[in-house]
Amino acid sequence: MGEPTFRDPKTAFDEAIASGRLSDTPGTDNYAGRYMYMGTWLDVDAFKHRDTREYLPATN
């Protein structure tokens, strides 16, 4: 898979929320506040759940 690139995390979160991949609504399963930005591989931002350590799928 190669090495990740890193970009501004706020931009990554904002774009994931705008696309519906993450949500800015507390209580939803994909609430952005539960995820950490881990880097970008092949132009796909990777987010990992802070409790389960599972990665968010590339598409919802």
In this predicted structure, what is the pLDDT of residue 1?
Answer: 66
pTM: 0.90
Question: pLDDT per residue over 12-53, tens digit each?
Answer: 999 999 999 999 999 999 999 999 999 999 999 999 999 999
Closest by Cα among 41, 18, 40, 43 to 32: 18
Contact 47, 16 (CB under 8 A): yes
- H helices of 1-60, in order, are 9-19
